Amino acid sequence: MKLKKFLTIAGLVGLTAIGAYALTFQEAGIENPEGKSVMLKDVPPEPRLFAIPPDCNLKDKESLKKLAEKGKEVFNTTAKGNCVACHCAKDAKGCGNIGPDLTGYKNGLFKAPGYRGEEKTLDWLYQKIADGRILIPKDLENVPYYHIMTVQLTTGQLTYEEVCQLTAYLLSQE
């Protein structure tokens, strides 16, 4: 008799748990409007073209030096751009190996031609950090390698000032 009572209680508890489990699945289902809105938050916004703001002085040596010092902090801060997760640079706190090594960037990679042989300019470098997707040639848009660089300014991960600072930091990598 005790066994029958135990099985009945266990069965009721089990059914309650299964019912709660089923409701959880139903609530998280793809047809649920809330589930769709959560998924859409992961879709990045369209690529955007950015210009260097007037207060971003990348031509004056003293200004460039001050900006580069701050850019080094942003480069090494995982809560910000997290550049160091993929790149290495002089005095970096740990180095990633997904992206190119940026040590000597000003004298090497920056002077190398772009995707289609175009000259790299300050505007190009600022855009590459802000939202590099705009620089991808149409015939390479579906090649996964070209979509690795994170989208910093369009998504709000970084501010205009921080993109300016990172640009200065890369220009200091001689």
Task: Tell which phi-psi region holds residue 92, choosing left (phi > 0), alpha (psi between -120 and 50) or beta.
Answer: beta
Question: Buried b / exposed e across 87-106, counting CB within 10 Å, b at 16+?
Answer: bbbeebeeeeeeeebbbebe
The pLDDT score that the predictor gives to residue 135 is 85
Given a cut of 60, whether residue 37 has pLDDT beyond it is yes
Contacts of 145 (CB under 8 A, 6+ apart): none
Domain boundaries, the chain: 2-40, 61-171
Other Cβ atoms less than 10 A from the Cβ of 69: the count is 13
Q: Average pLDDT, whole number, for the chain?
A: 81
**Sign of the dihedral through C-alpha 85, 88, 94, 96:** positive
Among residues of the chain, what percentage have pLDDT more than 70?
A: 79
Region 1-16: mean pLDDT is 45
Region 55-67: mean pLDDT is 96
Region 57-67: mean pLDDT is 95
**CA separation for the pair 82, 97 (Å, rounded):** 13
Given a cut of 60, whether residue 49 has pLDDT beyond it is yes
Query: Domain 61-171 adopts which CATH fold?
Result: Cytochrome Bc1 Complex; Chain D, domain 2 (1.10.760)
Region 34-50: mean pLDDT is 79
CA geometry: angle 153, 131, 79, nearest 5 deg: 45
**DSSP assigned state of 31:** T
Region 102-127: mean pLDDT is 91
